C-alpha cells in the first residue's frame, strides 16, 4: 500500500472534524473521497499533507503510513521535497501578479537540492504544457488574467512541478464549466496512466468523481460510511439517493 490511514481523528480546538477514519490507496490508483459540504474532506487532505497553515487541523489519534512507514510526525516540507505527496488546495492559490511560467518555476523549489534541478524543472514544465496546451499559449500572461478553469490547470501544473508521485486534489471541479472540468480530469487520467502518478481527489461532485476514480469512499460528518469500487458505490442505493440525485 502506498498510503494507509488508520483510525485517524483530527480536531480544530474542541471541534472533532474526523472521528477515526480509515482508508487506503495503492500505488497507481485513482481514489476519491466524496461527501457533502462540511463532511471533512478538506480536513482529511490537510491532515495528510499537514501544510504549515493555521487552519490545518491537529491529528489527535490514529496513524498515517506511507510505504508502510509512519509519516504522522514527518515535516510537511520533507514530504514535498522527497516527492512523496503534493496537494492542490481548495481555491487554487496561484500568484496573480506572476506569469504562468513564473508560477510554475517557483513551484520547482522542491528540486533545489538536486544537481540536475534546471533540467528537471524544464522537463516538468514540458509535461505541464503538454497536458495543458492552454497554459503554454498563455505562459507569459499574469495569473490573475486567466479564467477560473485555466487557474485550476495552473494550480495542478504547479503541483506537478514538485515531481511528486502522489497528488491530492481538493474539489478540482469547483466552479468549472463542464468542458474545462472534463479537460482537466482527462489530463489527470493521462498523468495516472502514463506517469503512474497516484491520485486522491476529494469532491462534492460525486457523479464526476465516481466516473473519474477507480475506487472511492463516502465521508459523512467525519465518518466513512461506505467504500468500494466506483461501480459499487454508484450502484449503492444510499449513495445514489444522497449524492447522485436519486
Ligand atoms: N478552521 C476550522 N476551524 C474550526 N472548524 C473547522 C475549521 N475548518 C473546518 N472546520 C469544521 O470541520 C468540519 C469539516 O470541515 P471540512 O473538512 O472543511 O469539510 P469539507 O471539506 O468536506 O467541506 C466542519 O464541521 C467544519 O465546520
Ligand atoms: Mg472542503
Any residues with Cβ below 6 Å from ligand 1, and which? 12, 15, 17, 35, 37-43, 55
CA 44 to chain centre: 11
pLDDT of residue 232: 97
Is residue 204 a part of any domain in this protein? Answer: yes
Position in ligand 1 atom list of the atom nearest CA 13: 4
Mean of pLDDT values over 191-220: 96
pLDDT of residue 139: 96
pLDDT of residue 206: 95
Is residue 191 a part of any domain in this protein? Answer: no
| CA 137 / ligand 2 centre spacing (Å) | 31
Task: Indicate whether 73 and 95 sit together in one domain.
Answer: no
Mean of pLDDT values over 5-33: 97
Task: Indicate whether 169 and 71 sit together in one domain.
Answer: yes
Task: Indicate whether 246 and 173 sit together in one domain.
Answer: yes
Task: Indicate whether 1 and 81 sit together in one domain.
Answer: yes
Mean of pLDDT values over 55-70: 93
CB-CB contact of 124 with 163 (8 Å): yes
Q: What is the tally of structural domains in the chain?
A: 2
Query: Considering every ligand atom, which ligand is closest to the CA of 171?
Result: 2
Q: What is the pLDDT of residues 224-240, one digit of tens each?
A: 999 999 999 999 999 99
Task: Indicate whether 34 and 105 sit together in one domain.
Answer: no
Phi and psi at 198, nearest 5°, equal -80, 140
Q: Is the per-residue pLDDT at 52 higher than 80?
A: no
CATH number at residue 26: 3.40.50.300
Distance CA 230, CA 161 (A): 29
Task: Indicate whether 148 and 214 sit together in one domain.
Answer: no
Give the residue numbers spanning the domain of 145.
91-163
Report which protein residue has its CA nearest ligand 1's atom 18: 42
| CA 205 / ligand 2 centre spacing (Å) | 12
Which residue among 32, 33, 34, 38 has the greatest number of ligand 1 atoms within 8 angstroms of its CB, and so is best to mutate?
38
Task: Indicate whether 173 and 65 sit together in one domain.
Answer: yes
Mean of pLDDT values over 84-88: 92
Q: Is the per-residue pLDDT at 183 higher than 80?
A: yes
Sequence length of the chain is 246
Lowest mean per-residue pLDDT among 47-51, 146-150, 214-218: 47-51
Task: Indicate whether 14 and 133 sit together in one domain.
Answer: no
Report which protein residue has its CA nearest ligand 1's atom 26: 38
Task: Indicate whether 25 and 121 sit together in one domain.
Answer: no
Q: What is the pLDDT of residues 112-142, one digit of tens each?
A: 777 888 888 899 999 999 999 999 999 999 9
pLDDT confidence tier of residue 220, bands split at 50, 70 and 90: very high
Is residue 189 a part of any domain in this protein? Answer: no
Is residue 121 a part of any domain in this protein? Answer: yes
Classify residue 145 by its DSSP letter. Answer: G
- The predicted model scores a pTM of 0.94
Q: Of residues 80 and 186, which shows the higher confidence score?
A: 186
pLDDT confidence tier of residue 246, bands split at 50, 70 and 90: low
Task: Indicate whether 116 and 72 sit together in one domain.
Answer: no
| CA 9 / ligand 1 centre spacing (Å) | 13
Looking at every residue in the chain, the average pLDDT score rounds to 92
CB-CB contact of 199 with 215 (8 Å): no
Q: Is 245 exposed, middle or buried (0-12, 13-18, 19+ CB in 10 A)?
A: exposed
Task: Indicate whether 48 and 121 sit together in one domain.
Answer: no
Position in ligand 1 atom list of the atom nearest CA 36: 22
Distance CA 25, CA 1 (A): 6
Amino acid at each position: 500500500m502506498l498510503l494507509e490511514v488508520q483510525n485517524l481523528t483530527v480536531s480544530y480546538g474542541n471541534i472533532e472534524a474526523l472521528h477515526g477514519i480509515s482508508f487506503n490507496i495503492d500505488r497507481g490508483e485513482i481514489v476519491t473521497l466524496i461527501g457533502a459540504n462540511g463532511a471533512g474532506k478538506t480536513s482529511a487532505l490537510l491532515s495528510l499533507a499537514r501544510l504549515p497553515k493555521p487552519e490545518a487541523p491537529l491529528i489527535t489519534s490514529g496513524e498515517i503510513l506511507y510505504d508502510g512507514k509512519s509519516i504522522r510526525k514527518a515535516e510537511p516540507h520533507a514530504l514535498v521535497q522527497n516527492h512523496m505527496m503534493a496537494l492542490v488546495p481548495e481555491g487554487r492559490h496561484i500568484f496573480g501578479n506572476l506569469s504562468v511560467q513564473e508560477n510554475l518555476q517557483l513551484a520547482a523549489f522542491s528540486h533545489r537540492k538536486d544537481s540536475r534541478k534546471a533540467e528537471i524543472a524544464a522537463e516538468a514544465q514540458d509535461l505541464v504544457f503538454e497536458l495543458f496546451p492552454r497554459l503554454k499559449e498563455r505562459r507569459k500572461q499574469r495569473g490573475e488574467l486567466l479564467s477560473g478553469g485555466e487557474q485550476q490547470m495552473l494550480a495542478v501544473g504547479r503541483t506537478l512541478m514538485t515531481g511528486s508521485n502522489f497528488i491530492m486534489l481538493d474539489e478540482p471541479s469547483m466552479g468549472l464549466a463542464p468542458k474545462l472540468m472534463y479537460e482537466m480530469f482527462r489530463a489527470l487520467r493521462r498523468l495516472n496512466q502514463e506517469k503512474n502518478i497516484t491520485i486522491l481527489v476529494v469532491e462534492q461532485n460525486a457523479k464526476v468523481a465516481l466516473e473519474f476514480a477507480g475506487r472511492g469512499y463516502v465521508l459523512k460528518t467525519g465518518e466513512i460510511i461506505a467504500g468500494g469500487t466506483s461501480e459499487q458505490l454508484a450502484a449503492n442505493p444510499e449513495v445514489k439517493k444522497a449524492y447522485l440525485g436519486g
